Amino acid sequence: MLMTIVGIYTLYILISMYTSIMQIGYINMAKRKTPVLLADGKFLVAGNYAVAKEKLSLVNSFVDYILFIAWMGVGISWLQSMIFLENEAVQNISIVMSFLLIGSLISLPFSYYEKFVLDEAFGFNKSSLGLWIKDTLISFVMTIVFGSLVIWGIYEIISNFTQWWIWSFTFIFAVVILINMLYPAFRATFFDKLTPLKDEDLDAQIKGLMDKTGFVSSGVFVSDASKRDARLNAYFGGFGKAKRVVLFDTLIEKLSTKELLAVLGHELGHFAHGDIYKNIGLVGAMLFAMFAIFGNLPQSLFLEMGMSENPALLMILLLLFMPVLGFVMMPIMGIVSRSNEYAADKMGSELGGPAGAIELANALKVLVQENKSFPLSHPLYIFFHYTHPPVIERLKALGMDVSQTNEDLLHS
C-alpha cells in the first residue's frame, strides 16, 4: 500500500512537471511569433515572465517531491519520536503544527525569490523587505493560532467518533465557509488598509450596478495594494450583509470609469449566477472525497510505515495528499469555472449598456498589459491549470476580432 501511495504521488508530480515543460516550450515558441494583444516588446517580456514563473514552479514541484519522499520515508516517524508530551491532544497538535511550520520554512526561499528576484525584475514588486518580513511573521502567527484550533477540532473528532472522516469533513467544510465570510475583514485588519471609496460619482454608479443584480454590500472600499504589488485586481468578499466590494488602488489608477464598471459588472455576474456557491460546492466535493479515502486506509499502510494509526499521522497524510486530489479535481473545477467566466462576461457586457462589451474587452486588454499576462497557453496547461478561459477566447466571445489564436500557433 505504501508503494501504491508513493506511486500515485510520483505520477502526479510527473504529469504536473510535464505540463509545465510543455507550457515553457509552447511559450518560448509563441513569444517569437506575431504579437497578440501586446506590443512587440511587451509581448516578449510577458512571455519571458511566464516562462520564468513556470521554471520556478518546476523547481518547486521537484522540491515538493523530495520532501514527500522524505516525510513518507523517515520524516513523520522522526517528528513523532522528537515530540513527546504528557497531554495527548497537545502532543498531536504539536506534531501536525511542526509539520506545517517546517513546510512553511522550506517554502520561504521560494517566496523570497518570487517576490524580490522574479517580480522585482519584471516591475511588479513594490514591497520592502521589512514589509515582507512583517507579512510573513503575521502569516506564521495566524497559522499557529488558527491552525492549532482547527487541528485540535479534528483531533477531538478522530478521538471520539468511529466514522470520524464524515464529521471531520463537516467541520472542515464549515471552516472553509467561515474563512470565505471573514477573509475581507482579516485581510483589512492584518494586511491591506481599506478606505471607503471617495469618488462619489463612481460610488453611485457602482451601487447602481449592484442594485440591478440585487447585490447587498456593506460598502465599496479601496485597498492600498500598490504598496506591495503593481498588479491590478478587485474582489467581492464575504456573505450576507458582510459582503464588501474591494478595488485595488492600482485598478482605479489604470482603468477608465466605464472599464472599471465593466469589470465590476463581470464580478456581479458571478454573484447573480451563484458562482461562489458552485465553487464552494466543488471544494466540498473534493474535501469529501479526500476524507472518505483517508478515513478508510488499510492497516497495512501503517504497518509498512512502522507506525501506529493516530490522529497526527492521519492529518499529516491528508495534508501531504491534498495537492494530489486538487490536481485531479482541477480539470473538472476548471471546466465549470471557465463556463462561469463566459457567463459573467456576458452579464458584465449587458450591464454596461450598448458599449458594455467593448468596455469589458478594453478592460481585459488593460489587465493583460498591466499584469504582463502572456495571452497564449498550451491546451494541456489550460486543461489542468486554467480557472479562466484564455483572454483571446473571452474577447472572441465578446464579439471582438482576434487575428491570431492558440491553434494558429500550436499547429504552425
For residues 201 and 25, what is the distance between their CA atoms, to the nearest angstrom?
Answer: 47
Average pLDDT, the chain: 87
pLDDT band at 408 (very low <50, low <70, confident <90, very high): very low
Q: Does 105 map to a domain? A: yes
Entry pTM: 0.85
Q: Does 200 map to a domain? A: no
Digit-coded pLDDT (tens) for 127-178: 899 999 998 999 899 889 999 999 999 999 999 998 999 999 999 999 988 8
**Beta-bridge mates of residue 220:** 245
Task: Work out how many domains the chain is built from and give that number.
Answer: 1
Q: Which three three-digit cell numbers place residue 385?
A: 491549470
What is the average pLDDT across 358-363? 90
Q: Does 262 map to a domain? A: no
Q: Does 129 map to a domain? A: yes
Task: Kindly give the interhelix angle for 88-113 and 311-351, rounded to the nearest 10 degrees.
Answer: 50
What SS3 class is residue 220?
strand
CA-to-CA separations, 175 to 143, 149, 283, 320, 382, in angstroms, rounded: 14, 11, 12, 19, 30
Q: Does 239 map to a domain? A: no
Q: Domain span at residue 163?
A: 2-194+268-296+308-410
Digit-coded pLDDT (tens) for 45-58: 999 999 999 999 99
Q: Does 223 map to a domain? A: no
Half-sphere exposure of 210 (CA within 13 A, CB side): 16
Please check the confidence at residue 71 and state whether its pLDDT lies above 50. yes
Digit-coded pLDDT (tens) for 384-394: 999 999 999 99
Digit-coded pLDDT (tens) for 3-20: 888 899 999 999 999 999
Q: Does 82 map to a domain? A: yes
Q: Does 329 map to a domain? A: yes
Residue type, 99: F
Residue type, 365: K
For residues 376 and 224, what is the distance between their CA atoms, to the nearest angstrom?
Answer: 30
Digit-coded pLDDT (tens) for 264-316: 888 888 888 888 888 888 889 989 998 998 888 888 888 888 888 899 999 99
Please check the confidence at residue 407 and state whether its pLDDT lies above 50. no
CA-to-CA separations, 105 to 171, 295, 324, in angstroms, rounded: 27, 29, 21
What does DSSP assign to residue 221? E
Q: How many CB atoms lie within 10 A of CB 293?
A: 14
Please check the confidence at residue 410 and state whether its pLDDT lies above 60. no
For residues 310 and 164, what is the distance between their CA atoms, to the nearest angstrom?
Answer: 12
Predicted pLDDT of residue 240: 62
